[in-house]
Amino acid sequence: MTDFLKTPQTPERPVKTALIGDAPDAVLHLLTSRDIELVRLPVNEKLSGIVRTHADANVFHAGNGVFFCDEAMVPVFEPLQPRELHLCTVAGGYPTDCALNAAWLDSVVFAHKTALHEELQRFFLLHKITLQPVKQGYARCSVCPVGKNAMLTDDSGIYQAAIRCGLDVLLLEKGDIRLNGHPYGFIGGASAMIAPDKVAFFGDLSAHRNCAEIKAFLQKHEMIYVDIPGFPLTDVGGIVAIR
């Protein structure tokens, strides 16, 4: 099959298939009701805590059917018929659990360079994709792309790095996002672009203290959003868009 997305984190067309980890029924319904087929990922027992079930910790889609994933994820890929599958062990606690946790907008990737898996670093170098190193290991978790040249982030280090790269960035206050076992979650794990002009939030956006600023930023970039009214904004580890 050749219909893989070229730019999965900033999809060039509406997402039709995506990987997702353990997520509440409300989040699953939000996506499936928009004709997105969801493929559930297994638990990575080599990881600790909630990230064992998070898609953004266990799989990176580099576009066009090229995937980097932990060995525990292999069973889900047989029916997906990937063009390339690179096995990259993701294990332990922070920051070794960030080996595949990279936020990718257009020609720049934000990631913790020391923690990022060397195979993924080689891929970016080969394809002339700029790797912008940041201190935050959970870079993908901390970024919600808003098109190819803008983002929401709740990490000040990523904010500064993105500004230096010429991106338009809205820095959010931390909090108001649920993550089991932690005081709060991350905006990237609680959202995803599901079309070139649409962002899905995994909960009620109005409950976030920066809701007004987020809505204005989305409008500025001609982006619409869908959310789950009355449901807590929840970090589920995002999705990995496939097709």
Closest CA to 114 of 102, 127, 96: 96
User: SS3 letters for 98-119?
Assistant: HCCCCEEECCEEEECCCCCCHH
Catalogue the E-assigned strands of 75-178: 84-87, 103-105, 108-111, 130-133, 143-145, 150-153, 168-171
In CATH, the architecture of 17-238 is 5-stranded Propeller (3.75)
Given a contact cutoff of 8 angstroms between Cβ atoms, the answer to whether 220 and 169 are in contact is: no
**Tokens representing 237?**
């580890």
Q: Where exactly are the structural domains of the chain?
A: 17-238
The predicted model scores a pTM of: 0.97
pLDDT tens profile 216-238: 999 999 999 999 999 999 999 99
pLDDT tens profile 35-83: 999 999 999 999 988 999 999 999 999 999 999 999 999 999 999 999 9
Q: How many CB atoms within 10 Å of residue 36?
A: 23
Strand-pairing partners, residue 105, are 108
